[in-house]
Amino acid sequence: MTAQIYGFLFSMWILILVGGGLMVLLVGPISFRDYVDIDPLINSGAKIILALFLIFIWVFTLTKVKNWIFKTQIKS
């Protein structure tokens, strides 16, 4: 069981690195102002929604990893 917890810790670390990469490479450079003339605040708001969506995917993936790693033990 302990090995599985270490495995979960390691997967969380990898997910943080990948999630960080997505934030820097995807969300950071996006600017809707290149296409439409919108207020900078709305531009930031759109990026926030995108970031929250990525966080949702991150948590969803983590839940799946958790279920996969702990499987039956979690129900014990």
Restricted to residues 13-42, the positions that interact with another protein (CB under 8 A) are 13, 16-17, 20-21, 23-25, 27-28, 41
Tokens representing 4 are: 């599985």
- Which of 31, 38, 42, 73 touches another protein by CB under 8 A? 73
9 lies in the binding site for another protein (CB under 8 A): yes
Residue 64 CA: distances (Å) to CA of 11, 26, 42, 57, 68: 11, 23, 33, 10, 6
- Binding interface with another protein (CB under 8 A): 1-2, 4-6, 8-10, 12-13, 16-17, 20-21, 23-25, 27-28, 41, 44-45, 47-48, 51, 62-63, 66, 70, 73-76
